[in-house]
Amino acid sequence: MVVQTRIPYQHATYPAVNVFQRQIVGASARTVACNIGGEDFALDCNMQPSGEALFYPKQHMIIAANAAGIMPLGFVDSVASFGDWDKFRKMVRRSRDFGFMGAGCIHPGQVTIVNEEYTPGAEEVDYARKVIGLNEEATKSGRGSFSLDGKMIDIPIIVRAEKLLRRYEAIKAREANTLAAIKS
């Protein structure tokens, strides 16, 4: 009997040419995530590793990762600046809004901030649960959309809420497993 296991692989894009070759992102079924090494990428392109300069390649990578069904990891700006923790937190929050789903850290002080900011917050979770609950009511009455807090809620918002809850539950399950492993 042959036992097959899936060994996850994270694709890190450093050379500039790789970002624009989408087939690299989805080349292996083992690939679960990808990122861009901003400093290295900027060096290859003779640019400064600022958020503005890296906007397009990072956005392109996020789109390619989502098209391949894998996680885009990283930050909207260079990770090299980590001395101002408030500024770093704002950058991580912006990165999540931008479409990144997590990131690696280069300093221990970044870990808590990254974990907090990439984990959906209580308000987001409550809102997602409300959306899903109201959708169930709307579906029972034959409606395809409904209003919540003055906004139209339809399929994309509902699916986004479902994804957010799945992500939140996966993060909490992993945290619980980590804590259990530490205690044993």
**What pLDDT shows up at residue 9?**
47
Residues of the chain with pLDDT under 50: 2-3, 9, 14, 16-17
**What pLDDT shows up at residue 14?**
47
**What pLDDT shows up at residue 68?**
82
Chain segment 111-145, per-residue pLDDT in tens: 999 999 999 999 999 999 999 999 999 999 999 89
Written as one string, the DSSP assignment of the chain is -PPP----EEEEE-SHHHHT-HHHHTS-TTEEEEEE-HHHHHHHTT----HHHHHHHHHHHHHHHHHHT-EEB--SS-SS--S-HHHHHHHHHHHHHHT--B---SSHHHHHHHHHHHSPPHHHHHHHHHHHHHHHHHHHTT-S-EEETTEEE-HHHHHHHHHHHHHHHHHHHHHHHHHHHHH-
**What pLDDT shows up at residue 24?**
63
